[in-house]
């Protein structure tokens, strides 16, 4: 059975940008159809398999006591995770269900059949949708590891590992980026023996060496074994364990393997060629600074457009597209300044702006301020929490005193980095941050001391 539908705006994918845009425009009286192919992805990646569930597990792992049985504790932690996600799913439905102008289509696979024409197939039913405007918001999926055995029964990605059963006493993680590191720290604290394999010379290749070294120390002190310069050649499953064979010739046996080598835009099977939508070499929808694709009245938002894979960036994507659809316009990707990031280890490293290496390569005249967290006398908060790993580092323009970038590896970094980002956007100088009056005891007090003395 085939039904036909005409709508003002068609949104493909229930991610942050898509659901926010649908709600805003629907409440303004525009007819909006939101299509989500997976019934367990209502609300998008962040609340279902990304930010929220993984950070819930990170928190649960930190709370584990030494005498807690790892497998039993992990199952309880997963139950806590699932309970929260179910509540968030319901809340996300509740945000859009009451909006009369928004039609929700869940459980159907969408494919373009022509310009701004999409067929949604679910079981024996089909829905042909014609829209004035289309917003592609299909997100990203885990990148596959192209080696023999990577599809084995004990090989997981960042989604499936969250419900791994049985709990792996030995876990190998392939990758050295933020996702790999978060799971490494998490599972080490849950009680797994974790070995992390990174093909590069060190983890966090985009960070300065001293920042990466600080994170490395934190992970190794948590029990993670990090092996760098290792290329995975093959995964061999013998029915009870999996052996990771590497270029180093030193195989590693494990109960489970997590492949965390990045995520790629989810555009396969969308039929974008039929819509006249250009796709880049990584599978991303090619867009301009207004997030317009090569097809008229078709935008791409969130992870699918090849930009930073962050929920808050996706939220800003919605602002850019919504401003065009409401006629106000004026907002573009070029307006983004000092966008921060955080990797949720314990403690978390956070970054905004230029690294020291990037500033030097750009020919900037800089002053570097850096201090190990354990040596910052004016910031007792990490000591009160019993977590003094880390490094705080600022890169400052030597002529203007403007902060060019910062790397904060410390407790509360996920909050403090936002203050630094705001300072960069508003032109607040390093001296003004140094001389600020901050609550005590707080992580913010580090600014008083770290920015007081340049690194010699």
Rounded distance between C-alpha atoms, residue 409 and residue 343, angstroms: 9
Minimal CA–CA distance to 43: which of 87, 79, 4? 87
User: Backbone dihedral region of 285: left (phi > 0), alpha (psi from -120 to 50 degrees) or beta?
Assistant: beta
Does 440 participate in catalysis according to the annotation? yes
What secondary structure letter does DSSP report for 41? G
Of residues 133, 163, 409, 440, which has the active-site annotation? 440
Q: Tally Cβ neighbours within 10 Å of residue 436.
A: 15
* Burial (CB count <10 Å: 0-12, 13-18, 19+), residue 292: middle
> How does DSSP assign 306-326, residue by residue?
TS---HHHHHHHHHHHHHHHT
Kindly calculate the radius of gyration of the chain based on its CA atoms and give it in whole angstroms: 24
- CA dihedral over 313, 17, 415, 375, signed as positive or negative: negative
Length of the chain measured in residues: 456
> How does DSSP assign 222-284, residue by residue?
TT-EEEES--EEEEEE-SS-EEEEETTS--EEESEEEE-S-EEE--TTS-HHHHT--B-TTSP
DSSP-derived pairing of the beta strands 193-198 and 170-174: parallel
* Burial (CB count <10 Å: 0-12, 13-18, 19+), residue 358: middle
> How does DSSP assign 381-448, residue by residue?
HHHHHT----EEEEEEETTT-BEEEEEEESTTHHHHHHHHHHHHHHT-BHHHHHT----SS-GGGHHH
What secondary structure letter does DSSP report for 54? H
Contacts of 434 (CB under 8 A, 6+ apart): 447, 448, 451, 452
Residues identified as active-site: 440
């Amino acid at each position: 059975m085939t039904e036909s539908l005409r709508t003002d705006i068609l949104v493909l994918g229930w991610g942050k940008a898509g659901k926010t845009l649908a709600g805003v425009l629907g409440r303004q009286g525009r007819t909006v159809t939101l299509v989500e192919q997976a019934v367990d992805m209502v609300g998008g990646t962040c609340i279902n398999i990304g930010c929220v569930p993984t950070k819930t597990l990170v928190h649960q792992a930190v709370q584990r006591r030494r005498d807690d049985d790892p497998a039993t504790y992990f199952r309880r932690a997963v139950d806590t995770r699932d309970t929260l996600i179910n509540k968030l799913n319901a809340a996300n439905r509740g945000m859009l269900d009451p909006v009369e102008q928004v039609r929700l289509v869940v459980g159907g696979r969408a494919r373009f059949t022509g310009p701004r024409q999409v067929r949604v197939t679910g079981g024996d039913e089909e829905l042909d949708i014609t829209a004035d405007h289309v917003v592609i918001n299909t997100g990203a999926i885990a990148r596959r590891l192209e080696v023999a055995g990577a599809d084995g029964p004990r090989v997981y990605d960042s989604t499936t590992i969250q419900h791994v059963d049985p709990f792996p006493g030995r876990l190998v993680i392939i990758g050295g980026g933020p996702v790999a590191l978060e799971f490494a720290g998490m599972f080490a604290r849950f009680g797994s023996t974790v070995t992390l394999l990174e093909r590069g010379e060190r983890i966090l290749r985009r960070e300065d060496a001293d920042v990466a070294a600080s994170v490395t120390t934190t992970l190794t002190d948590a029990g993670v074994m990090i092996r760098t310069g290792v290329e995975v050649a093959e995964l061999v499953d013998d029915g009870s364990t999996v052996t990771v064979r590497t270029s180093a010739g030193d195989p590693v046996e494990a109960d489970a393997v997590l492949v965390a080598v990045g995520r790629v835009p989810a555009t396969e099977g969308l039929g974008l060629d039929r819509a006249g939508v250009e796709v880049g070499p990584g599978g991303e929808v090619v867009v301009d600074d207004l997030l317009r694709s090569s097809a008229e009245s078709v935008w791409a938002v969130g992870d699918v457009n090849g930009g930073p894979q962050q929920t808050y960036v996706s939220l800003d994507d919605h602002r850019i597209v919504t401003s065009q659809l409401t006629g106000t316009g004026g907002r573009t990707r070029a307006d983004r300044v000092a966008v921060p990031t955080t990797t949720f280890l314990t403690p978390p490293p956070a970054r905004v702006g230029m690294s020291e290496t990037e500033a030097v390569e750009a020919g900037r005249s800089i002053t570097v301020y850096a201090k190990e967290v354990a040596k910052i006398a004016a910031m007792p908060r990490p000591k009160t929490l019993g977590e003094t790993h880390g490094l705080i580092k600022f890169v400052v323009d030597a002529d203007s005193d403007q902060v060019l970038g910062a790397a904060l590896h410390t407790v509360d970094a996920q909050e403090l980095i936002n203050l630094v980002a705001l300072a960069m956007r508003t032109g607040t100088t390093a001296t003004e941050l140094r001389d600020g009056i901050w609550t005590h005891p707080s992580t913010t007090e580090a600014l008083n001391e770290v920015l007081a003395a340049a690194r010699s």
